[in-house]
Amino acid sequence: MTVTAQPAAPDAAFSGHLLDFLAYMELERGLSRNTLSSYRSDLLQFGAFLAERGLAAEGAESADVSDFLTALASGDAGVPLSTASIRRKAASLRAFYRHLRREGVLDSDPTAGISSLRRSQKLPMVLGRSEVRRLLEQARGTEPIELRDRAILELMYACGLRVSEAVDLEVRRIDLEQRSLIARGKGSKERLVPIGSEAARAVQSYLSRGRPHLVGARIEPRLFVNYRGGALTRQGLYKIIGRHAKAAGLEGKMSPHTLRHTFATHLLEGGCDLRSVQEMLGHSDVTTTQLYTHLSKRHLKDAYFSAHPRAKAA
């Protein structure tokens, strides 16, 4: 298989993942147009390479990534690329697959098998309790959009929802009497997640006093809608949370997925067992959930050194 200098369009699924990735990098990371253009070019080329092999982004393995980079270095695309260019393309692939893992599209990362790409594991960012309160206080109004935003923030923190799960959540999947919802995760796997009292109240207020004004006479099964009454998109959700994060002084410190990390870490800090957290997050492997025990332990250490009278440096 060769890599073409002018790649053809990849399949629709890959294009969708690419658009989501670029939106995330622009809205959450604030990357420049030039950087986004480089990512787009690199990933379109890789998408065409996968399409030539009959593979989706989710089906790529380490060998496919290695073959792609080797083809570029050997000149199969026309002119052999420099080491710096190969490293840039490798970095683009790593960022792309890190995003797919963060969004729950796949479990494994094919770029992790490329030795030149390996990095030390970085713990995800989580919010402290005071930061969560500050964030939630940004959506306190009574207008339909404000009620929607409050429900989004409360529900994502209360239930640890992925971005895709939040935007795909249907009204019929929520039971406020039983205070639970059914989230549809990756692989269309469904799981039952409890809803806390504050989140339940926020959702009830949105359903009774907010959503009807936004939806009007149209039929829309999704819980969260935009100001026109249509289903909220991932990009729309990123913008909503980014706006409130900025107002709370948390700009650059969080993304929608930070609420999921925070949900898991706060549960473990509060004494919830690891298996229960795994089930609520929808992780197929408990080792993925164990990452949050490191965050919880780090929090305990920080709390000790800040609170114990004889632990502080002189």
DSSP, residue by residue, 141-209: --SHHHHHHHHHHHHHHHHT--HHHHHH-BGGGEETTTTEEEEE-GGG-EEEEE--HHHHHHHHHHHHH
Per the model's pLDDT, the better-predicted residue between 65 and 147 turns out to be 147
The overall average pLDDT reported for the chain is 84
Q: Domain end: 117, 140, 174, which one? A: 117
> Does the active-site annotation cover 257?
yes
* List 17, 99, 150, 162, catalytic entry: 162
What pLDDT score was predicted for residue 6? Answer: 43
Strand partners, 175: 180
Higher pLDDT, 306 or 158: 158
Same domain, 69 and 96: yes
Which contacts (CB < 8 Å, 24+ apart) does range 70-76 have?
A: 71/1, 71/2, 71/3, 72/3, 76/2, 76/3
Which domain, by its residues, includes 169?
Answer: 129-258
Selected catalytic residue, list 99, 257, 261, 266: 257
At 119, the pLDDT band (50, 70, 90 cuts) reads: very low
pLDDT tens-digit series, residues 91-115: 899 999 999 998 888 888 888 867 5
| Known active-site residue 218 | no
Q: Find, among 17, 253, 226, 254, the residue nearest to 156 by Cα.
A: 254
What mean pLDDT is predicted for residues 155-166?
93
Say how many C-beta atoms besides its own lie within 10 A of residue 282's C-beta: 22
What is the CATH classification number for the domain harbouring 179? 1.10.443.10
Active-site residue, from 39, 157, 238, 292: 292
Single residue among 117, 144, 164 that ends a domain in this structure = 117
Report the pLDDT value the prediction gives residue 118, as an integer from 0 to 100.
42
Q: Are residues 92 and 28 in the same domain?
A: yes
Q: What is the pTM of this model?
A: 0.61
Packing angle, helices 256-269 and 291-307, rounded to 10: 70
184 with 239, same domain? Answer: yes
Side chain identity at residue 123, one-letter code: L
Q: What is the pLDDT of residue 51?
A: 85
Q: Is 17 known to be catalytic? A: no
Q: End-to-end CA distance of the chain: give it in Å, rounded.
A: 64
In which band, very low, low, confident or very high, does the pLDDT at 308 lie, cut at 50, 70 and 90?
low
Q: Does the residue 154 lie in any domain? A: yes
87, 88, 186, 299: which one is catalytic? Answer: 186
Q: Are residues 19 and 110 in the same domain?
A: yes
Active-site residue, from 17, 150, 260, 261: 260
Task: Find which of 78-82, 103-107, 115-119 is predicted with most confidence, using mean pLDDT.
Answer: 103-107
